[in-house]
Amino acid sequence: MIGKMRARNFQSLEVSCRSSGVCDHPMMQISKPMIPARHRPRGLEILHEDRDILVINKEPGLLTVSYRRDEMRTAERILTNFLRKGNSRSSLQAYVVHRLDRETSGLLVFAKSPQAQSRLKDNWKQAEKSYLAIVHGHLLAKSGTFSSRLAEDDDQFVYSVNDPGAGRLAETKYDVIRETRSTSVVRVTLLTGRKNQIRVHFAEAGHPVVGDPKYGRPDSARIRMALHAKFLAFPHPHRGERIAFDTGIPEYFQRLAGGLDEAAWSQFAGQAL
């Protein structure tokens, strides 16, 4: 048995699975915690909790994890406090499995025990991660894959290098799903998971993510970076079956892209990577 079972009130939540085999069943029933408003963590929404994992929708501006003691507002610490329910003697903890950049919103999974964390990490290459991005300009190729080796300098700036020994392979698949007068709405699927990978690849192609404060263009009119981890599927660490989560399209992206809807996103569902 992985972890300890904690009694909670749950409501049923259906998660649709794609015909391409993202999930083992056409429709799966998972449990979404019914959390009283006064106990809901700020900066994130808990979409699913069971004895082994927590799946959340992170807001932009929130760190996934930090090793600085003065950085208390991280998703990891918020969820650890949520699990401990104010009990300073509790040993319950949220364990990091993967990360999102501070400026990126969307889906994250945390483990509730070291055993679950280990199993998730061991099988993480089987995870499927798709992002919604809005980038500057219009890409000449409407579908494609960026591939380069990424390195990082002393200022934590990530960039592509030609020397195979100096960087790690990063591959980013994309499909343009809509264009506005000055931007492109892109569905991005990570084939690897490197730091700042999506942001670097699009910036180096001349199409930085809208609102990107690090690799993009100065734009005081944008209230956030237009990058959202929308879809996530992975093998459950205890039961083994593949489970999938989708946040829907955030309101900010709908406004920025002129009424973007799920139909535009879904037209690329099930395509071979």
3-state secondary structure 164-203: CCCCEEEEEEEEEEEECCCEEEEEEEECCCCCCHHHHHHH
Backbone angles phi, psi at 144, to 5 degrees: 175, -175
- Told to judge if 219 belongs to the known catalytic residues of this protein, a careful annotator would answer no
Q: What percent helix, strand, coil does the chain show, rounded to 5?
A: 15, 35, 50
As a whole number of Å, the end-to-end CA separation of the chain is 35
Catalytic residue from among 50, 52, 101, 212? 101
CA dist., res. 41 & res. 79, Å (int): 8
Identify the residue whose tokens are 């989708």: 246
As annotated, the active-site residues are: 101
